[in-house]
């Protein structure tokens, strides 16, 4: 694997999931692979799971980690060409990416969308500028439009917990007071399209994701109808895609409670976390045996580890 920007960088999905599950059983079995190698974790936004699980994954492969928080303890970066830099930005991406590439063998980046400038967000300008001006592999730790490490962890979790060969998986929108990105929903959708599952998306009318992502995945506007006989309920809020970045509906009847879960096939409840309790999901669901959010978060380590392992193997 040369880089991990999107799940399209995975060639053989079954193979990588199996390898991640093997790493989970023996996490230190490739401790020599990353010896004398350094990963730089670059955060333009907050994180708990991605930060810690990627660091842990790298350490289990014997790598050194450098973490930098842009906006807190790094110079403000300029991404535009030809700018007269007499404003708030101090360092240009051209120098920053080249310099960081000298210190690190792999650069992992978290950079959320603006949710105001659709064109800029779709261009993945932060990730792609690091790719353009840096000289080492890039790993996406959640970008403007994708969260492929999360999607791989989700695929591992479903593979481990499924009870039938082809489970029914539902991605449901749920309300949230703030405008949230589409990245998790996009990557989860792309991942489910590649897995052997019966996949359905449900959300209020008008909350359609990017049609280039959803393609021919069935969209059911009646949440109860969508949930019938489901084996996995994956819940996530996203802001409006058409009226880009707007919160146009906050209908509390879409919050996941026992009422919704009752029509499922004893479905497992999944969410990438962090989650707003009693807004996205009722306590009665997330505190129940149906919830697998903690197992899901644990798999973030092994999704990161298998990706880093494959990039290290490519670097050799
Ligand atoms: N799921 C996820 O990416 O969590 P963090 O935002 O805490 O990293």
Is 316's pLDDT higher than 90? no
Residues with Cβ within 6 A of ligand 1? 47-50, 142, 150, 272-274
Q: Is 276 annotated as a binding residue?
A: yes
Q: What is the ipTM of this complex?
A: 0.99
Identify which of 159, 126, 121 has the alpha carbon closest to the alpha carbon of residue 238.
Answer: 121
CA distances from 169 to 191, 211, 267, 280 (A): 11, 19, 9, 18
Q: For residues 283-290, give the mean pLDDT.
A: 98
Cα of 67 vs centre of ligand 1, distance in Å, is: 16
- Residues 244 and 144: their CA atoms lie apart, in Å, by 13
**Residues facing residue 68 across a β-bridge:** 42
Instruction: Report CA-CA distances (Å) from 189 to 107, 147, 150, 160.
Output: 26, 11, 12, 19
Task: Look at strands 38-43 and 268-270 and give their pairing.
Answer: unpaired
Judge residue 43's burial from the number of C-beta atoms within 10 Å of its C-beta, 0-12 exposed, 13-18 middle, 19 or more buried.
buried
Cα-to-centroid distance, 274 and ligand 1 (Å): 6
Strand 77-78 with 168-173, pairing: unpaired
Distance (angstroms) between ligand 1 centre and the Cα of 84 equals 35
- Is the pLDDT assigned to residue 71 strictly greater than 90? no
pLDDT tens sequence across 15-69: 999 999 999 999 999 999 999 999 999 999 999 999 999 999 999 999 999 999 9
β-bridge partners, 254 = none
Atom of ligand 1 nearest to the CA of 50: 8
pTM above 0.95, yes or no: yes
């Amino acid at each position: 694997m040369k880089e991990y920007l999107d799940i399209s960088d995975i060639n053989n999905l079954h193979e990588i999931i199996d390898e991640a599950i093997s790493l989970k059983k023996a996490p230190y079995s490739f401790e020599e692979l990353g010896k004398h190698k350094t990963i730089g974790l670059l955060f333009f936004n907050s994180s708990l799971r991605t930060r810690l699980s990627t660091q842990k994954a790298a350490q289990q492969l014997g790598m050194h980690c450098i973490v930098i928080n842009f906006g807190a303890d790094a110079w403000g970066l300029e991404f535009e060409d030809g700018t007269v830099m007499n404003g708030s930005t101090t360092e240009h991406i051209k120098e920053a990416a080249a310099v960081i590439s000298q210190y690190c063998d792999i650069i992992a980046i978290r950079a959320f969308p603006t949710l105001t400038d659709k064109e800029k967000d779709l261009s993945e300008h932060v990730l792609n500028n690091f790719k353009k001006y840096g000289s080492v592999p890039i790993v996406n730790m959640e970008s403007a439009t994708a969260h492929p490490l999360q999607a791989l962890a989700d695929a591992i979790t479903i593979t481990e917990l499924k009870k039938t060969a082809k489970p029914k998986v539902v991605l449901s929108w749920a309300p949230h007071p703030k405008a949230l990105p589409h990245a998790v929903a996009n990557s989860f959708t792309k991942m489910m399209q590649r897995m052997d599952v019966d996949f359905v998306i449900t959300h209020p009318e008008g909350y359609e994701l990017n049609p280039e992502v959803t393609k021919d995945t069935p969209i059911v506007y009646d949440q109860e109808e969508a949930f019938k006989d489901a084996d996995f309920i994956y819940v996530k809020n996203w802001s409006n895609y058409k009226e880009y970045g707007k919160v146009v509906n906050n209908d509390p009847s879409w919050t996941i409670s026992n009422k919704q879960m009752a029509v499922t096939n004893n479905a497992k409840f999944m969410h990438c976390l962090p989650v707003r309790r009693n807004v996205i999901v009722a306590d009665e669901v997330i505190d129940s045996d149906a919830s697998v959010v903690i197992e899901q978060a644990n798999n973030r380590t092994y999704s990161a580890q298998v990706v880093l392992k494959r990039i290290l193997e490519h670097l050799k």
